[in-house]
Amino acid sequence: MKKDRQRVDVLVIGGGVVGCAILRELARYSARVVLLEHNPDICEGTSKSNSAIVHTGFDASPGTLEARLLAEARELWPQVIEHLHIPYLQTGALLIATSDEELAMLTNEIIPKAERNGVTLSTLTREEILENAPYINSAILGGALVEGEGIIDPFWTTRAYCENAVLNGAQVFTGESVVGMSVEENSIAVHSSGDKTFAASLVVNAAGLWSDEVARLVGDDSFTLTPRKGQFIVVEEDYGVSQIILPIPNRISKGILVTPIIFGGVMLGPTAEDVREKSDLATTSEGLQQIRQGIAKLVPAMADAASVRQFAGLRAVSSTGEYIIRPSTASERLLHVAGIRSTGLSASPAIGRYVGDLARDQLGLVLREHFVEELPEYLSETHANEGDVICLCRSITRGEILAALRSPLPPQTLDGLKRRTGAMLGDCQGNICMPRLMQLFQQQRGCDPLALNKNYDGSSPVVARVAGKEGE
Ligand SMILES: Cc1cc2nc3c(=O)[nH]c(=O)nc-3n(C[C@H](O)[C@H](O)[C@H](O)COP(=O)(O)OP(=O)(O)OC[C@H]3O[C@@H](n4cnc5c(N)ncnc54)[C@H](O)[C@@H]3O)c2cc1C
């Protein structure tokens, strides 16, 4: 039997921060737009595992598309944050030089490069730094302040882009992997793991680390992507650190940093390790040791800080060394948005706008009459009888949990609920509140606790139902 084929104008592959930012821009047009995401929820790839910094792009290579989009994003962020109610804090970043070579690099390379990127750095003496930040390594020789750097919640950002698009008519299918594509005369046929078929006038390949494999589905092997792992340690105590603390960056990465987390606590890391597998998210004792050594150079007291959690993310390093935003070699109707290595969160508003403009020009799209720019603040809507605290570590109420479960793009997993509300992110990591969260999940979404996964298939924290206890 012939499967139903849905005709769409634009189909986005990948529900990371890049795909969702693009979806929001596409939703401005009078067009049928859909997004397919392989995982059970959006933002389960690299977009959930990063330093969560909105970079100014001070150290981007001048003249590149990445530098241009980071500069454009600096202009767009204030509106995006306001309209989508994204928690954001412009903390500034302190660049610390601990040797004569690093100090020379700061003066001769980093500051002039920043100026070419339109970002002004203020140089600071050792004394000025230590006066304001006495926790910094007293052996430093000097540094600089990058005032425009800030911290954000990457999941909130991705969800907000996506929900705003959905409220403006875009469709999102999670748990649907693109497994086949074929180029047709006026469209690209896209086949998903859930047996859906679409005929799309334009397909946007925003599949992160897997974008090269998506390209290969139509015989395009014009680029490859390799994973570069970054491990992190999360600590609850902030040791007074209220700014991002950066070492002098090296040629491979920005180095190991201290980054305050927008909802509390601090992240230490990341490492930069080239690995073989695109699924290798393991933390290792060597990696964690390397982080602690790096932190000892910046904030010595933090080097032995107690960790509440460790995790890793994978950067998509492209064979071209640059953002790849261009049509496929196989068809003009497939647009790659790939190799968005270390700055995709920061550049996302501008990547979305850039790709939206390309789609508009290619398909002759016109703006819809009513695009709702602003996302309702439903996550903070609680009712008087829903004020009891469920997550004791982070003081999250039942009302906040229910609001997330009733939202336009509700969580499908416990991790999805965690990232929407902050519940289970504190000291106890869910040990106390998880049973009540599962109960609310069941009440609101009719989800059997045995089938409710932590994240991926088969990751339910409940092993079995005790006979005779059903419904208690
Ligand atoms: C250690 C580390 C630190 C970083 N720090 C920062 C930072 O501080 N600031 C910053 O701006 N950037 C940072 N980045 C970079 C940033 O996280 C990435 O640039 C960004 O998340 C890339 O987003 P994406 O949407 O391209 O990829 P992803 O988030 O990986 O999304 C791609 C999605 O595509 C889906 N997908 C794949 N194949 C298919 C398929 N066949 N069908 C359907 N869906 C598919 C995946 O499941 C995934 O959800 C960091 C990255 C790392 C690893």
Residue with tokens 């767009």: 76
Burial of 359 (0-12, 13-18, 19+ CB in 10 A): buried
For residue 252, the model assigns a pLDDT of: 65
Average pLDDT of every residue of the chain: 93
Tokens of 42: 């959006």
Average pLDDT over residues 354-379: 93
Compute the distance between CA of residue 452 and CA of residue 455 in angstroms, rounded to an integer.
9
Is pLDDT above 90 for 276? yes
- Among 47, 190, 274, name the best residue to mutate to test ligand 1's pocket (greatest count of ligand atoms within 8 A of Cβ): 47
Residues in the chain: 472
pLDDT at 427: 77
pLDDT for res 182: 98
Atom of ligand 1 minimally distant from the CA of 269: 1
Amino acid at site 189: A
Per-residue pLDDT of 331-351, as tens digits, reads 999 999 999 999 999 999 999
Q: Are 404 and 156 in contact (CB under 8 A)?
A: no
Q: How far apart are CA 459 and CA 363, in angstroms?
A: 42
Q: Which two structure tokens, joined as six digits, stand for 56?
A: 């100014």
pLDDT of amino acid 472: 43
Measured between alpha carbons, how far is 24 from 208 in angstroms, rounded to an integer? 17
CB 248 within 8 A of CB 99: no
pLDDT of residue 209: 98
User: Which has more confidence, 446 or 347?
Assistant: 347
The rounded Å distance from CA 47 to ligand 1 centre is: 4
Indicate if the pLDDT at residue 25 is higher than 80. Answer: yes
Q: What are the distances in angstroms from CA 289 to CA 139, 232, 256, 311, 443? A: 21, 11, 12, 14, 44
Residues annotated as catalytic are 55
Mutate to test the pocket of ligand 1, among 36, 42, 43, 50 (most ligand atoms within 8 A of CB): 50
> What does the alpha-carbon distance between residue 332 and residue 75 come to, in Å, rounded to a whole number?
30
Atom of ligand 1 nearest to the CA of 345: 11
Identify the H or E element spanning 215.
helix 211-216
Residue 2 pLDDT > 90: no
Q: Is 349:203 a contact under the CB 8 Å cutoff? A: no
Q: Which residue has the CA at smallest separation from atom 49 of ligand 1?
A: 45
**Residue 383 pLDDT:** 63
| Banded pLDDT at 232 (limits 50, 70, 90) | very high
CA atoms within 13 A on the CB side of 155: 19
* 50 within 8 A of 257, measured Cβ to Cβ: no
Alpha-carbon gap, residue 406 to 378, rounded angstroms: 9
Q: E-strand spans in 270-359? A: 273-274, 309-318, 324-327, 334-338
Instruction: Pick the residue whose CA is nearest to atom 12 on ligand 1.
Output: 343
pLDDT tier at 381, thresholds 50, 70, 90: low
* pLDDT exceeds cutoff 60 at 67: yes
Token pair recorded at residue 245: 């603390």
pLDDT score at 468: 61
Helix/strand/coil percent split, the chain, to 5: 30, 25, 45
Distance 223 CA to ligand 1 centre (A): 17
Rounded Cα–Cα distance for residues 270 and 87 (Å): 22
Would you place residue 1 in the very low, low, confident or very high pLDDT band (cuts 50, 70, 90)?
Answer: very low
How many whole angstroms separate alpha carbon 260 and alpha carbon 245? 9
C-alpha distance from residue 274 to each of 279, 280, 282, 316 (Å): 13, 11, 13, 10
Q: Flag the least confident range among 13-27, 144-158, 446-460.
A: 446-460
Ligand 1 centroid to Cα of residue 316, in Å, is 8
Atom 27 of ligand 1, residue of closest alpha carbon: 208
Gyration radius from the chain CA atoms: 23
Mean pLDDT across the stretch 218-235? 97
Pocket of ligand 1 from Cβ distances under 6 Å: 13-19, 36-39, 44-47, 49-53, 55, 177-178, 206-210, 214, 230, 270, 313-315, 340, 342-346
The one-character DSSP state at 243 is S
Output the pTM of the full model: 0.95
CA of 199 to the centre of ligand 1 (A): 26
CA–centroid distance, 36 to ligand 1, in Å, is 15
Least confident of 294-303, 367-376, 444-453: 444-453
H or E segment to which residue 191 belongs: strand 188-192
Among 149, 24, 154, 147, which residue's Cα sits nearest to residue 87? 154
**463 contacts: CB under 8 Å, gap ≥ 6:** none
**Ligand 1 centre from 99 Cα, in Å?**
34
Q: Amino acid letter at 411?
A: P
Q: How many CA atoms lie within 13 A of 50 on its CB side?
A: 32
Please give the single-letter amino acid code of residue 205: N
Mean pLDDT of 68-82: 98
Mean pLDDT, to the nearest integer, of 238-251? Answer: 91
- The confidence band for 277, taking pLDDT boundaries of 50, 70 and 90, is very high
Mean pLDDT of 403-409: 90
Q: What residues are paired with 202 via a beta bridge?
A: 10
pLDDT tens, residue by residue, 158-182: 999 999 999 999 999 999 999 999 9
pLDDT at 219 exceeding the cut of 50: yes
